[in-house]
Structure 1
Amino acid sequence: SPAQTRSVEKSGCFSRGGLAKITRSSRAGLLFSVSRIDRLLRKGQFADRVGAGAPVYMAAVLQYLTHEIVDIAGEVAARSKKRRISPRHLQLAIHSDSELKKLLGGVTISQGGVLPLNQPVVLPSKKRNGRRAIKRRIVPAPVPVK
């Protein structure tokens, strides 16, 4: 059908009349492989049947989560003046975002290191701003000494 194929010049003995297949990933506008996720869902024996939209939806969710984690980890790496994302940056990225922490808080990342724990006692005390902190006292005028 015209919706599933694109006109591309192909050569060789297995040519199909100049029509090439379009992947399900490109149809859905995804980078993650829909066919691979479909195969893994069927092979995994999670259910007797797998709907046509399930692997597309799952690929979209996985792509979104991966994008979020890598985006935050890139910011963490840039803050530490690094150009390469390390497992430590992934660990800090996951634990800096409340929703990702809720989802992946119990996951152990190899070479991720420990999370920094700042005790409130060690942190410097918060000082109030200028005039509000200083209470104005009425000071009597100095008496000249003779």
Structure 2
Amino acid sequence: MSGRDRGGKVRIKAKTRSARTGFQFPDGRVHRLLRKGNYAERVGSGALVYLAAVLEYLAAEVLELAGNATRDNKKTRIIPRHPIGLIKTLFSYYWST
């Protein structure tokens, strides 16, 4: 009876939430931090997936722009100055208008 239920149907192997979402960000950690942060009494499972997606997107954008700034400076390693200068530029652009 390996892999079969009582009804004769093949049981589908369980997938973790991280495997279903396919994100690089740890959704279990995001869920834990949402629960412990006193944001709400109950946290839905869709909220943590959405937040993990937003965080992953923002991190990818900042890293891409920092990589471009690094390449423009003819360097091969991102140092903290690259993303910090980039974020300052973005904030000054958005808050000046």
TM-score (norm 2): 0.76
- Give the percent of matched residue pairs that are identical in Structure 1 and Structure 2: 46
- 1:82 and 2:75 correspond: yes
Mapping 1:1-146, distance limit 5 Å:
2=12, 5=14, 22-97=15-90, 101=91
Q: d(CA) in 1 for partners of 2:65 and 2:44?
A: 33
Aligned residue pairs total: 84
Q: Tell whether the 8 Å contact from 1:76 to 1:92 is kept in structure 2 after alignment.
A: no
Larger radius of gyration: 1
Residue of structure 2 equivalent to 1:125: none
For residues 53-97 of structure 1, the C-alpha deviation after alignment (integer angstroms, 9 at most, x for no partner) is 011000000000000000000000011011111111011222344
Q: d(CA) in 1 for partners of 2:77 and 2:52?
A: 25
TM-score (norm 1): 0.52
Q: Which runs of 5+ in 2 are unaligned?
A: 1-10
Deviation at 1:34, TM superposition (A): 0.7
Q: d(CA) in 2 for partners of 1:41 and 1:53?
A: 12
Deviation at 1:29, TM superposition (A): 1.8
Q: d(CA) in 1 for partners of 2:36 and 2:88?
A: 33
Q: d(CA) in 2 for partners of 1:52 and 1:86?
A: 35
Q: Which runs of 5+ in 1 are unaligned?
A: 6-21, 106-146
The structure with more strand, counted as a fraction of residues? 1
User: Match of 2:32, as an amino acid?
Assistant: R
RMSD: 2.1
Q: d(CA) in 2 for partners of 1:23 and 1:71?
A: 29
The structure with more helix, counted as a fraction of residues? 2
Q: Which runs of 4+ in 1 moved over 3 A?
A: none
